[in-house]
Homo-oligomer: A and B are copies of this chain.
């Protein structure tokens, strides 16, 4: 054997060892179909990296695979790879916020159905101020409907006076685009656009301000019971169409979360009732369509925002237990949400949170913590330190865990205790934790053997509806990751859900069937797209 041959054997061994913690390298028996489909995906990725991504686009100065999502989106949707991934079965969606799940244009359409929905602005809108002024929505009780109302763009519009949404839309001044201008104005307030993410708000701190404002604008629409029902339905259906079979969104609960049809505010128990009903309806509908296996169901991670104090948190914990008792099949866990860099850290709540296990025991329920932690660029900041507390308090999974890679001992514990990480690639990029997918820490997590579920976080704000976009960004930003790794992440999303063992098994079985069909489809695409294959 020559020195070079010997060297190459040694090299192969080292690479194998270095990769041995990866999920895709632990798959011992790859089926012929999997191997073939993986190769096809790699070939198409390589071909499109030069064909599609090296073209000149008038409005995109620096196209590259894994680029800034809001700018690259229009290229992504043209790729074969995107088309293929949209057909992939993706398992469960484990990190998402209910109020950020439905396409803004659909939400707007829903809102326009209800005469009770009113809108106002702090001043009369003009071409000069429109980009800086956001709408405020509210479903009003009938007795509070305004007697008469001037459009928001009238010079004599009374600041902060309510206008029926239909009137506001129809009377939107032609100089501001008329009704379409109204839609654009609302859409702009409910989403993050590229010039904000990559221009005016191009730091984590700044973009979070815009991010937070989208929920303030949309909150009174999504919390309105008549809309909520259709909203949840749309969320489930669009998820199913994207190959997601189970969802476990976080819902931010406040003491009076839901606005009823008549404008009164009620306890969020009502949301649970609606959620439960919609699950049943969608399941029945899927059954009618002969697509039963495609929707396992949905739960909710009870969440409240990290600005409450410990006394309020105590109330939320009790409330969460009460809901769990009434809806044991719906409450999946408990979390604290909001901008970690700016709000209270977990340690602030430690005393209260440490009592939660005993409270559960007393009530005879089990509600795992599923904490957001380490969604930050900080190194040793309180947000980064949240990871210690999340893990010490026994979190079942870690939401984001962006800074987890900085913690060797925590990585070890995550492996030992089988704590999965909910990674939200596009969210992290738009919220400026990473400038593109190429600098995202996901490969570090995967290579260190951490179980990962890819998640969309708030697609209505980011435009990454479903999970296809997130899978796409991950796939094109790495030479290492291929179809097998994507499949492992989809499986892990089911394995690390809060579904009971038998439901998990069922879901995995169904996923496996869909996966085989998907592989056949990829191979068929490969035959067509890569005739030399």
Contacts and interface: CB of A to CB of B under 8 A. Distances in A.
Contacts of A10: 392
A408 B445 CA distance: 10
Nearest to A481: B379
- The binding surface of chain A is classed by DSSP as helix
Contact of A410 (B3, B18, B433): B18
Contact of A379 (B11, B435, B479): B479
B433 A62 contact: no
Contacts of A481: 379-380
Nearest to A63: B203
A18 B385 CA distance: 11
A405 B200 CA distance: 32
A313 to B, nearest CB: 14
A10 B480 CA distance: 38
A409 B20 CA distance: 9
Instruction: Select the residue from A61, A389, A439 with max chain B CB neighbours within 10 A.
Output: A439
Given A62-B206, A381-B479, A406 B14 contact: no
Nearest to A387: B18
A377 B11 contact: no
B444 A433 contact: no
Contacts of A62: 202-203, 206
Given A62-B202, A203-B62, A407-B18, A478 B380 contact: yes
A350 to B, nearest CB: 6
A407 B14 CA distance: 11
B350 A18 contact: no
B7 A350 contact: yes
Contact of A409 (B3, B14, B202, B433): B14
Nearest to A20: B409
Interface string A6-38: 011011001101101100000000000000000
A354 B3 contact: yes
Contact of A377 (B18, B389, B408, B438): B438
B380 A479 contact: yes
A288 B282 CA distance: 87
Contacts of A405: 405, 444
A21 B411 CA distance: 14
Contacts of A385: 15
A408 B203 contact: no
A232 to B, nearest CB: 36
A338 interface: no
Contacts of A200: 61
A438 to B, nearest CB: 4
A448 interface: yes
Interface residues of A, number: 57
B203 A406 contact: no
A75 to B, nearest CB: 14
Interface in A315-356: 347, 350-351, 354-355
Interface in A470-484: 477-481
Contact of A447 (B20, B21, B354, B406): B406
A427 interface: no
A433 B439 contact: yes
A18 B388 contact: yes
A206 B54 CA distance: 12
Contact of A439 (B380, B409, B434): B434
A494 to B, nearest CB: 25
A439 to B, nearest CB: 6
A435 B377 CA distance: 12
A4 interface: yes
Contact of A350 (B4, B206, B407): B4
Given A378-B479, A379-B443, A479-B380, A7 B392 contact: yes
Contacts of A384: 479
A64 interface: yes
Given A7-B350, A18-B410, A379-B477, 20 more contacts: A3-B355, A4-B351, A7-B354, A10-B392, A14-B391, A15-B388, A18-B408, A62-B202, A62-B203, A64-B203, A378-B479, A379-B443, A379-B479, A380-B478, A405-B444, A406-B443, A406-B444, A407-B447, A408-B447, A434-B439
Interface of A: 3-4, 7-8, 10-11, 14-15, 17-18, 20-21, 61-62, 64, 200, 202-203, 205-206, 347, 350-351, 354-355, 377-381, 384-385, 388-389, 391-392, 405-410, 433-435, 438-439, 443-444, 447-449, 477-481
20 contacts: A3-B351, A3-B354, A4-B354, A7-B354, A8-B350, A11-B388, A11-B392, A15-B388, A18-B409, A18-B410, A61-B202, A62-B202, A64-B203, A377-B439, A379-B477, A379-B480, A380-B478, A380-B479, A406-B444, A406-B447
